[in-house]
Structures are given as C-alpha cells and as structure tokens.
Amino acid sequence: MDIKQKLKQVLIEELNLEDVTPEEIGDEEPLFGEGLGLDSLDAVELVVVVQKHFGVEIKDMEEGRPALQTISTLAAFIEAKQQG
Amino acid sequence: MRMAILGIGICCGCGNGVEALRSALQTGRVAPQEVCLERNGEADRFPTYRSSVEELSEFIPKRALRRIDHFSRMTLLGACLALKDADLLEADRSRTGVVIATGYGTLKTTFDFLDSYLDFGYACSSPTHFSNSVHNAAAAHVSMQFKATAPSLTVTQFEMSVASALLTAQLWLAEGRVDRVLFGAIDEYCEVLRYCRQQFFTDGEQGPIQPFSFDQQSAVVGEGAVFLVLTKAQEYAPYGYIDSVRLGNHLVNAVELPQDDMLIVGADGHKECGRYYAQLLKGREATAYAPLFGSFPTAAGFDLAVAALSLADRTRYPNPAVNGCANDAAEAAGRQFSDEKISCLKFGPGGDYGLIRLSL
Amino acid sequence: MKQGVAITGLGCLSGAGMNLAESMQSLFRNQRNPQPPQRFSTDHPVSYPVLELRDGLELPLDMCETIHARTSQLALAATLEALDDACWDVASLRGKRVGVCIGTTVGCALNCDDFYRAYKTDGDPGLATIERYLRSNPAALIARQLQLDGPNQTVVNACSSGTDAIGIAAAWLRAGVCDIAIAGGADELARVTYAGFSSLMITDTEPCKPFDLHRKGLNLGEGAGMLILESEAVRDGKKARGYLLGYGSACDAYHLTAPHPDGAGLKQALREAFAAAQVTPEQIAFVNAHGTGTPDNDRVESRVLHEVLPGVPFVSTKGYTGHTLGAAGAIEAVFTLACLQRGELPANIGFSTPDPELPATPLRENSRVEGDVALSESLAFGGNNAVLILAKGDG
C-alpha cells in the first residue's frame, strides 16, 4: 500500500475520525483548521502516529510544522526520511 | 447557606435519567450485568453495574466526541441530562460553575496512556491519552461543551470526594462567585480495578450487595455519573434544598447524627467502612441504595440524588430487595411524608465522614 | 483594600531548596540546577532536564513509617515547616477546627506503572503500590496524620491546583467552616508526567527560558508549598506573614491543552481577584507569573499582563524550581509573600533575548519591590486560570 493510503487509514483509526473515509481525505486538503479540522493536540498525536507506524521521528515542531500540512507533504517527509 | 436543587442527571447501572432512578427505587431491583474476563487462561465471571452512554449522541455530535473517553462521556451525559431536567439546556452558562467529584478519576485512559509507552516505547507516549488522563479533563470537556467559563473544580479523594466538593460548591454560591453550579460525581469501572478488588476482597465482590450486613464484604463494582444543578436557595426548588455539608473524622470527633432525620447511608458492602455505620446506627432505621447502582466511592452522589428525588416525590423509598427477598420492599409504593429532613451519611475506611442534610 | 485572610506560616521545598530560606538563597543568587532525572529512567531517545530535590527528605521518624508516597511526604515536609513558622506545634492543633486543602496531580493518579507492567504481562502483581495509593491522598493523609478534625479537600485542577487550593481554603475561613487551614500543593516527579509532557512536545532539552525568544518548553520539577491561614479569633494578634486579599478563577472553555489565544479566562480570573481584593492594577507591585517557558503559555500571559497590568514588573520563578504542576501555584504564592517581605525580587532566570511577539518582558535582574501588594497567577490544562492577590505582612 502506498504511504498516502496507509497514512489516511491510520489517521482515521488513531484520531478516531469515524465520520470520514480514506477516500474523502484529499491529498492536498489541509489537515488542520478548515480542512480536516485537526488541532494542536492532534498535531502532537500525529508525531506519535508517524513514529509508531512508519518508524520516522519528528524531532520537534520546527521540523514537524512544514511536514504536517497535508497528506502529500507528510508522505513526502516520511519517504525522504525512510530513504535517508 | 441552603442550595436549591433545580435538576438531576443520572447515568448508571439502573439506566439514564431521573425516570430510570425513580423506577429503580419503586421496584427496588436492578439486576447487575455479568462480565466474563479471560486472565491467565482462566475465565473470571463477576457482576457489575455499568453505564451506557449511547444517548449522548442526542446531545453532542459524534465528531465532537472523538477524543472523549468513557469517563468523560458519562460525565457529559450526566451533565446534559441534569441541564435538560432543569430546563437549562439553552440557558446562558457564563456564570455556571462546574464542580466534579471523583474517587479515582479516569482509570481506563490512565492505563491506556501507560499502554502507549509500555507497548511502543516512550517516544510513542500518546499525548491525547495523557491529556485525557489528567483528573480535570472531564470538567474541561463539560466547560467546553457548555461554554461554562465560570470557575471549575475537580476534587479527588475517594469516598469523601462528594461531600468535600459539595462544600466548595456551596461556598461559591454563598459568595456569589457563580449563580449556578453544575455538580457532578463520577467513577468508572475498568478491568484493572476488577483485578485489584478481586485481590483485595476475593468472593466479597460477587454480591449481592447487603448494605446492612455490616460485618460482611458483599460489594459489586459499579460506575456512573450523577449531576445536580444547584443554585442559591430560592422559592422554586423542585427537588428540595441541600441545607448543610459537614466533613470530619469520626475517630477524632464522633459524628453527631441529627435526631429526627430520615437517614440514607452510603453502606455498600464494604466491611472496612461498615463497622462505622454499625457503631453509629445502633439499630436506628436507615436506608441504603447501593444495590441499585453498585459500590464505588462517588456513589455518595447517587445517595444525594435519591434524597432529592424522595423529597420531590414526598416518598420514603424502601430499602432495595436483597437476594430477591421482599425485605421491606413489600411496601413497594414507599411511605409518604410531608415535612421531613433527610441526612446522607458516607464513611471512608479511615473514619472520615461526610454528612449532608436536605429538606423541602 | 480589604483586610483579607491572615497567613501566619509558610513552608516550601523544591529543586531550588529544601526549605524556604534555602530556596530564597537560590533565587537571589540566581542559581539553578536542572539535570536529567535521577530517580527514574526511560528509554526515551531524548533526555529532558528536570529539577529534583537536592537532598533526601527528612521527616519525623514516626511519620516516615506511615507515609510512603513521595507526594504526600513532600506535602508533609512543607506542612511541618509552615506550622513551625506559624508557631504551631501539632499537638496544640487538636481540638481546633483545622481544614486541609491541597492541590496535586500525581498525588491522586493511579499511575502505578510498575504494578501495571506486571499486570499486563499476566503476572499476579501484589497490591502494595495500590494500597500506598489508597493511603496517600494528600489532603486526607495530612488530616489523618495530624489527627485533625475539619474539612479536607484534594484539588486536582492540574497546574492551577495549588493556587485554587489556597483560594478555596480562604473561603472556608471566611465562612467559618474552620478556624485554621493548611493550604497549598504538592507533586512529585514521576515517569508518567515526564512521558506525558514530552509527548506534548512542550519540554525543553535545555534549562527552560521563560518569556525568551528561544524558549522551547518547560522543565518539570517537584516539590510542595504550604501556607497556614488563620481566622482573626485564633490568630489573636499574632504577626501575619501576609494576607490573602483576593482570589479569582475562570475557565477558558476553549481547548483541553491550549490556552485561549486572547487569555479570556485569565483576564476574567484577574477581574474577579481585583474585585474580591478591592485593589486596582496600579496597586500591584509585581506579578509572579506562571511563565512555564512553553511558546503558547508565555505568549498569552505576556499579552494579558501587558494589557491588564502594563508596566508592572513580573517574574517567573519556574527557572529555579521547574514546573512543579499541582505544587507550582502554592510554591509561587509562598515566594510572592517572601519577596514582599524581603522587599526584593529575583531575576527571571533563563530570559535574555526578548521575543518581538511578546509585548511585556520579565525582570532581567534582582530588583527592589515598590509596594505592599502582589499577584500570583496560574494557567492550567483544561483551560483553568487562577489568581491570588497577596499583601505584605506585619513586618
């Protein structure tokens, strides 16, 4: 399964987004605020999700902020880290 | 200072809402639910009183509940039902204080948080579980849900949580810090709690609860949330008034029981506390309602709700049936009264007590 | 200005010192000593400095035998110091109506991770840690240990618990529910809070820098602060260490972990405290700020201080003590009173570079106090905000 698809699934599972399906989450849709509606607590939970499911560490929010914009940016970050 | 009780919200093993409690008091019977746990290859069967929180989605959209655990859901449901009962669901709550009493706080989420790092390493500690395991998380969810921006307080001290928290609620109203208080008492069941109670009490956790067999352990684990909407005494008090709240230690300074009050005791099948009731009552007539909702520290809040409902119905509800025996539940309709005071007494294992008086 | 509730004794211990005198010395010498936790370990890839007590705790022997939970030991140590400061011996409290109101977080949580680890691996762990937890509720335990008869309350309002406990105890005295109150907060450092705060990504890998441009988060600490409050009848002319003039608290009702961006709840708590104390912001000599060193907290707090108390000097003492959670508000109230009495304020250690986003900046150097009234504030998880207004004592 590609990273984006897996990301959408674990996002729904781990953040309890029962009312959303993976298909409904757009790759370029903002994760926070107006888009998917996540908030600052979800942001730090996402850091754990990425560590747990992809083995990739996000050191702090300086590093995390640009990665945690959309499914696409996060997938690219994970990919880069996994290859690096 | 007297506090008027404007509304009651109930979420417990006897069902949800005031009607469920009234019906349980009338029939004198609530059957515990059997739970079966597998542990070390053995099946452990035992009775429980559990709460259902499905009704909460009638009040709060599912999305808003996604990060909210069972403890806070019971809390929110109790609060919603109490506000509805008081016809205040739409009212402005900027001067409504939130006071929460809990014996243990949220248990399940506390252990969920430990799971997150014990299973996956400290780098995977879940911030969501951590934040929800903090004892005032439930109060925070209530304040957020109801836009209650007035003071908020959570008190955790086992059996004394209810009386202690109520004392502060009373002073907030007396000093005019708030116009109303949403007062809640909550405890929850979890598997680890079962393990501990079984280790402590072995068969003494199999029920049925026999509150007045003071020297016998006969508890059944329970959970639930009960809320009262309180305000400074006024002419309208559908459930009567809370007149006074007293805390102390019986071993330091013996409790003085009001002479003529009807007595509701928090005896719930715990031998360690039972001896104090035995000493004090010396055969005096009293009622105990633990068989309707189970044994847990903040069940003292349910005693208050029973007292309030008794005042509203002007009915002294009989002791629930024990062992299927009729007991004095024969007088199913209960005894009518016109002008009574009710005292609710709860002991902790160290002799500490809370004594709360109510009247019409 | 109101007369307020008399405070006749103070006690505190934390990473800054084992008692109030030692703590004041650290504060005014601008010394601190954060280091990786010594009392527990984790497999966390990053080590965060914390402020643990410098020395072992010394408690009366008969009490050591019955009190095993560290939070309660801390509470008891600060209580005994405060009682001594107020010239009370324990025996003479008996027969009086003495209330106990203590804030905590760890002291009430069933965070027994060693027990739980054994439970999870299908062992049959013994219940020693659970029994200790059941015996160690801070307020109940202090009341039982000192054989007091009166109300007691353990407040769990997260990081504002200590401040709230003091405000609540003062209300008990005003209402005549008790004549003396032991009020404050206590919290031990624990693996659970350490893991929790690092998961929220609000702990600094270096000594914390409250209100600084480069602040990254807090350092956890441990300790206790206790105050003895007395009714006028009981005090009977005894000199007061200070007075509690007013208390205010309010909830943001905004978010579980983030403060309201405009500090709505904090401003409301300040308004209530000013009204209760019958003082105006101009009368405030200084503020002991919450100042945890997290980006969000310090931004909101600086903005509110700039708006409500413009030009009033403020300092966060968390650089010296770390964030002691449920104890923080109580330790800081003790510091506030001691600084009023001393007429001097310590520098906000950790602050060097102003943040352009922060309109108000803390004291860089030890400074003289001009005035007799000061304010201590706490912001907490769950959106709780609590404020105490305190006045200098009788010399």
User: Do residues C222 and C324 touch, judged by C-beta distance below 8 A?
Assistant: yes
Q: What's the gap in Å between the CA of A11 and the closest CA on chain B?
A: 12
Whether C1 has a pLDDT exceeding 80, the answer reads no
* Tens-place pLDDT, residues C186-212: 999 999 999 999 999 999 999 999 999
Q: What's the gap in Å between the CA of A44 and the closest CA on chain B?
A: 7
SS3 B18: helix
Residue B329 banded pLDDT, cuts 50, 70, 90: very low
* Tens-place pLDDT, residues C283-295: 999 999 999 999 9
Q: Which domain holds residue A73?
A: 3-83
What is the pLDDT averaged over residues B140-166? 97
What is the pLDDT averaged over residues B288-305? 97
User: Do residues B111 and B120 touch, judged by C-beta distance below 8 A?
Assistant: no
- pLDDT for B330 equals 44
SS3 B201: helix
Token pair 């399940």 is found at B108
Bond into C346 cis (ω within 30): no
Give CA–CA dist B227/B222, Å, rounded: 17
- Taking an 8 Å cut-off on Cβ atoms, the answer to whether B157 and C144 are in contact is no
- pLDDT for B331 equals 53
Percentage of chain C lying above the pLDDT 90 cut:
89
What is the pLDDT averaged over residues B90-111? 96
* Mean pLDDT score of chain C: 95
Interface predicted TM-score (ipTM) of this complex, two decimals: 0.97
Domain CATH for A23: 1.10.1200.10
- Taking an 8 Å cut-off on Cβ atoms, the answer to whether A41 and C201 are in contact is no
- pLDDT for C242 equals 98
Residues of chain A in contact with residue B131, where contact means CB-CB under 8 angstroms, are 41
- pLDDT for C235 equals 95
- pLDDT for C60 equals 84
What is the pLDDT averaged over residues B44-50? 96
Q: Which domain holds residue C34?
A: 5-392
Whether C35 has a pLDDT exceeding 90, the answer reads yes
Q: What's the gap in Å between the CA of A9 and the closest CA on chain B?
A: 16
* Mean pLDDT score of chain B: 94
Residue B326 banded pLDDT, cuts 50, 70, 90: very low
- pLDDT for C374 equals 98
- Structural domains of chain B in order of their starting residue, each with its CATH number: 3-359 (3.40.47.10)
* Tens-place pLDDT, residues C133-162: 999 999 999 999 999 989 999 999 999 999
Q: How many domains does chain A have?
A: 1
3-state helix, strand, coil split of chain B in percent (to 5) is: 40, 25, 35
Length of chain B (residues): 360
Domain CATH for C367: 3.40.47.10
Q: Which letter, b or e, does each residue of C314-337 get, where b requires 16 or more Cβ atoms within 10 Å of its Cβ? A: bbbbbbbbbbbbbbbbbbbbbbbb
- Taking an 8 Å cut-off on Cβ atoms, the answer to whether C216 and A57 are in contact is no
* Tens-place pLDDT, residues B218-265: 999 999 999 999 999 888 899 999 999 999 999 999 999 999 999 999
Percentage of chain B lying above the pLDDT 90 cut:
89
Q: Shortest CB distance from B148 goes to which of C137, C164, C253?
A: C253
Q: Which letter, b or e, does each residue of B224-242 get, where b requires 16 or more Cβ atoms within 10 Å of its Cβ? A: bbbbbbbbbeeeebebbbb
Residues of chain B in contact with residue A57, where contact means CB-CB under 8 angstroms, are 123
Q: How many domains does chain C have?
A: 1
What is the pLDDT averaged over residues A66-84? 94
Give CA–CA dist B85/A28, Å, rounded: 46
The mean-pLDDT minimum among B274-278, B338-342, C234-238 falls in B338-342
Whether B296 has a pLDDT exceeding 90, the answer reads yes
Whose CA is closest to C203, among A61, A54, A46, A67? A61
* Tens-place pLDDT, residues B113-134: 999 999 999 999 999 999 999 9
* Tens-place pLDDT, residues C164-179: 999 999 999 999 999 9
